[in-house]
Amino acid sequence: MSKVIDLCVIGAGPAGLAAAARAAQGGLNVLLLDEQPAAGGQVWRNAGAALAGGSMPAAQAEKAYHGAAAALRRLAASGVDHRAGATLIDIAAPETAPGPGPEAVVEITWRAPSRAEAPRIRQTAAGAVICATGAQERPLIFPGAELPGVMGVGAIQSAYKQSGLVPGGEGVVLAGHGPLLLLTLAQIRAAGGRVAAVLDLGAPGAMAAVARTLPRALIGDPALMARGAGLMLRRALSGVPVYRRVTGLRAHGADSIEAVSFSSAGRATRLPARLLGVHDGVIPNAQVSRLLNLRHVWDAGQGAFLPVRDTDGAVAPGIWLVGDGAGIGGAEIAAMEGEQAARAALARAGRGPDVQGPAARHLTRRRAARRLVEALYPPVPMGAYATDDALICRCETVRVADVRAVLGTGIDGPNRVKAMTRCGMGPCQGRLCANPLTRLISAETGRSPDAVGALRIRPPLKPVLLMDYLAPETMPEVSA
């Protein structure tokens, strides 16, 4: 397949936006594929509409979307061909494409959002690829977690940013730890909502530290603290019952959550609940880096595998991984990494000197600061709530006990456990169970996560209708 575009950027969050715009400004023709309905990623979800006076009050929009307006303006001016709602299906790395080197092409298979846009599956040959696929929440494994009404705090954030939705009425409980949990609490209360209780699942003292660390942890922007976020957070907890030293967390209900039970400091408690927001930090979305079969190293601070990258984010000839998808750093670090990878892509295409941008030193400092934040919010230990009857794979209804039952002599890696239990074989393709499974096996066998390894990821990256799959077409020349 001959090259059709210079650069394909996957993901339109802070990292992808920066990379695409920089590369386009440098003269590359760029295709920006993003699965979400609008550019911005998660931190800037729906920023364009919100800043233009959409679903949330303008003052809140400015705070929530700091930095987004500039990034979106830059995208609009860049000439980047941005496809919203485009789903990545497969990447064939240069080692399987003809000859590595500057002439190698990376074959990107992606899906257009609508069946009306035939052919829905497209194949694009790109001279280079920058993957900026972002983060997801780390699933907390506890019994009842799969019940409707139990959702990630990130999902509550998402509903807020997308449609201005705020949990309403009685029975709203938040459980977990970390900055996003407290930010969500503050937002709910600021919007006049009620939170019945907060279950603090974090390290002792970490909840109180949130106010100090939140701004940097989320978007790395000291200016936000100056605008009062710190104060808002310190006040968020006032008047809300906080349960600490929580054990035995369990969600109850038939078709949706009706109650949550737990012990706090040894005292058994049961609260009515209609919405349980859960948060155990965020982890890189590892589907692409696993599909590419890259080397990963366990990062104890982030409680996740991170792909091994060069200093500019390169992982293979013509392929870069940047932003939270390669290691959680927040929006500011992500944007800097995107810029840096775009410069490297420009240099590789003979469109500029191969120099690190002026941001390089700043980036190093920011990453160091990020480490301090991570130390405050270690992941909830795997064994804390993962009872035998808790689901580890909600798609295939695989329980923790099912994994424990097959672990034994020689059955001590995720792919063997998958073969024995079907853990990871459902439609989410391991997105929700890969990280917990590595940690569970590690906890059960006493082997390090690096020795345990991770679930292998196979194409397609998202389930594809066979009728779509059968009718692919090489994308024609993009308008750049």
Nearer to another protein, 28 or 92 (CB): 92
Six token digits for residue 413: 């890696």
Rule CB under 8 A: is residue 360 a binding residue for another protein?
no
Nearer to another protein, 146 or 299 (CB): 146
Apex 362 CA angle, 353 and 208, nearest 5: 155
Q: Which of positions 46-75 make contact with another protein (CB under 8 A)?
A: 46, 49, 53-57
Nearer to another protein, 113 or 357 (CB): 113
DSSP letter assigned to residue 326: G
Rule CB under 8 A: is residue 259 a binding residue for another protein?
no
**How many Å apart are CA 166 and CA 123, to the nearest integer?**
40
The single residue among 62, 271, 469, 480 that binds another protein, judged by CB under 8 A, is 469
Rule CB under 8 A: is residue 352 a binding residue for another protein?
no
Rule CB under 8 A: is residue 414 a binding residue for another protein?
yes
3-state secondary structure at position 83: strand
Crossing angle, helix 359-376 and helix 206-218, to 10 degrees? 160
Rule CB under 8 A: is residue 271 a binding residue for another protein?
no
Cβ neighbours for 96, distance < 8 A, ≥ 6 positions apart: none
Apex 275 CA angle, 272 and 277, nearest 5: 120
Q: Which of positions 300-339 make contact with another protein (CB under 8 A)?
A: none
Cβ neighbours for 57, distance < 8 A, ≥ 6 positions apart: none
* Amino acid at the residue 462: K
The single residue among 397, 448, 473, 474 that binds another protein, judged by CB under 8 A, is 397
Rule CB under 8 A: is residue 361 a binding residue for another protein?
no
What residues pair up with 264 in beta bridges, in sequence order? 246, 267
Q: Which of positions 151-180 make contact with another protein (CB under 8 A)?
A: 151-152, 154-155, 158-160, 162-169
Helix residue spans in 169-309 (DSSP H): 179-190, 206-218, 222-226, 229-236, 287-291
* Amino acid at the residue 231: L
What residues pair up with 247 in beta bridges, in sequence order? 263
Site string for another protein, 180-209 (x = CB under 8 A): -----------xxx----------------
3-state secondary structure at position 137: strand
CB 304, min distance to another protein, A: 14
Cβ–Cβ under 8 Å, residues 430 and 457: yes
- # of chain residues touching another protein (CB under 8 A): 88
Which listed range, 25-33, 343-351, 366-374, 428-436, lies at the site for another protein (CB under 8 A)?
Answer: 428-436
Nearer to another protein, 349 or 390 (CB): 390
Rule CB under 8 A: is residue 2 a binding residue for another protein?
no
CB 261, min distance to another protein, A: 20
Nearer to another protein, 368 or 466 (CB): 466
Rule CB under 8 A: is residue 410 a binding residue for another protein?
yes
Q: Which of positions 11-40 make contact with another protein (CB under 8 A)?
A: 35-37
Cβ–Cβ under 8 Å, residues 254 and 144: no
CB 192, min distance to another protein, A: 8
CB 286, min distance to another protein, A: 11
Q: Which of positions 95-124 make contact with another protein (CB under 8 A)?
A: 96, 109, 113-115, 123
**How many Å apart are CA 297 and CA 458, to the nearest integer?**
20
The single residue among 297, 401, 408, 448 that binds another protein, judged by CB under 8 A, is 408
Residue 117, Cβ neighbours under 10 Å: how many?
Answer: 11
Nearer to another protein, 14 or 453 (CB): 453
CB 378, min distance to another protein, A: 22
Six token digits for residue 447: 């082997």
**How many Å apart are CA 401 and CA 276, to the nearest integer?**
24
The single residue among 297, 470, 473, 474 that binds another protein, judged by CB under 8 A, is 470
The single residue among 15, 32, 39, 42 that binds another protein, judged by CB under 8 A, is 42
Rule CB under 8 A: is residue 406 a binding residue for another protein?
yes
**How many Å apart are CA 90 and CA 461, to the nearest integer?**
6
Radius of gyration of the chain (CA): 22
Which listed range, 87-95, 200-208, 231-239, 304-312, lies at the site for another protein (CB under 8 A)?
Answer: 87-95
Q: Which of positions 229-258 make contact with another protein (CB under 8 A)?
A: 255-256
Q: Which of positions 122-151 make contact with another protein (CB under 8 A)?
A: 123, 136-137, 139, 146-151
**How many Å apart are CA 195 and CA 274, to the nearest integer?**
11
Cβ neighbours for 408, distance < 8 A, ≥ 6 positions apart: none
Rule CB under 8 A: is residue 295 a binding residue for another protein?
no
